[in-house]
Amino acid sequence: MCPLYAALPPNIQHKAFTTTPPGFRKIILATNIAETSVTVPGVRFVIDCGLQKRRKFNAQLGIETLQIHPISKSSAAQRAGRAGREAPGKCYRLYPQATYATLSDNTTPEIRECDLTSMVLALKIQGHDDILNFPFLDRPKRESVIRSLELLYLLGALGKDGKPTKLGEQMNVLPLTPEMGKVLLSSTTGESPCVAEVIDIIACMSASSASSNAIFLTPDAGKREETAENRKHFASAYGDHITLLQAFREYLSILKGAVHGEGAKDWCRRWGINRRIMKQVLVRLELQTSPNYQEIQKQLISYCQRNNISVVPAERPDKDAILKAFLSGYIMNTAVLQMDGSYRACFSHHVCPYI
């Protein structure tokens, strides 16, 4: 059986595309990546469960979650089309005809389910003041637009007159979300600037859209306890952001002493680190200069250099300063501990028992 999903290391992805020896049958367990993005040769049968995982933004909570939803009829047709592209094939749907009839004709446009903050800021910069009545091809949800405007006011990207501020213009230039942009800009001020550390953390978080801990491989069912023990090697009482920083900084130290990356490869395997993601994060060492790697760090460092902002890593990072910088950008995600042990969000007032 071969898994196939976007965050999988290339060497494991390659197994799904290798020729199957005579007398054997290859089973590929894939996400939506196999629906339209890639074509796997030799597929004869497709088993369609009728479900998909989609990122959906909750405007009330201000968070994006990965949820399971029924697919659309157009997606069902795409999945069926994967079978028999090179020879006769079949598609088996694990749901009755009555369920198929209830599916929507087309997939919901992404603009109705994603965070609109970056788009709203860009429209404001372009001089569009009435965002609620902007002629979108697919109109987004009203509550999502209002939430984006509120957040931009809170971050200081918009002034009391609704016009973009100088800070908002700076945030719009950065290849980041407004929240992340505020984090980076906040890291340049204060008694303990922590620009280099924040850039490293942002690069780790942005290297994959799967999760903030994407540099760590998802463990197999039988190795979860072992993986949990390995992650304690990097764990910090200050939270996931410092954990990412410590893992990345150790990877840098291993790389500098490695020969052609062999030491780094063994290190990643030992600690359950996704080496492909680490390569995408790393762009400012001469060991990794391929244009195929993600250039988030390079863009952010270039921005800082143009604005005379020092990007020198500290020998002992000020962890409090780093967390304060992230707090400035994600103030709407704060919550207060209640007497019963749960947390109540400061802005939405929703109870969050499992933070």
Grouped pLDDT means (10 residues each) for the chain, 355 residues: 78 83 88 81 90 83 82 92 84 94 90 90 93 90 91 93 92 89 90 86 72 64 72 87 90 72 77 80 45 57 81 85 93 87 84 64
Quote the pTM value: 0.76
Q: Reading across the β-sheet that carries 343-345, which strands appear in turn?
A: 335-337, 343-345, 351-352
Q: Which two tokens stand for residue 126?
A: 């372009």
User: Strand pairing partners for 48?
Assistant: 93
**CA 208, CA 351: separation in Å to the nearest integer?**
29
> What per-residue string of b and e applies to 236-245 under the rule 16 or more CB within 10 Å gives b?
eeeeebbbbb
**CA 323, CA 11: separation in Å to the nearest integer?**
36
State the pLDDT at residue 112: 87
**CA 116, CA 131: separation in Å to the nearest integer?**
11
> Are 322 and 332 in contact, with CB atoms under 8 Å apart?
no
* Rg of the chain taking only CA atoms, in angstroms: 23
Half-sphere exposure of 354 (CA within 13 A, CB side): 0
Could you give the residue ranges of the DSSP H alpha helices within the chain? Answer: 10-13, 73-81, 97-102, 117-125, 142-155, 166-173, 178-187, 195-206, 224-231, 240-257, 262-271, 275-281, 296-306, 319-329
Count of other CB atoms within 10 angstroms of residue 99: 12
Q: Which two tokens stand for residue 296?
A: 């988030």
Burial of 8 (0-12, 13-18, 19+ CB in 10 A): buried
**CA 311, CA 353: separation in Å to the nearest integer?**
38
Query: Hunting for tokens 């196939």 — which residue is that?
Result: 4
**CA 179, CA 162: separation in Å to the nearest integer?**
18
Report, at the CATH architecture level, how domain 2-108 is classified. 3-Layer(aba) Sandwich (3.40)
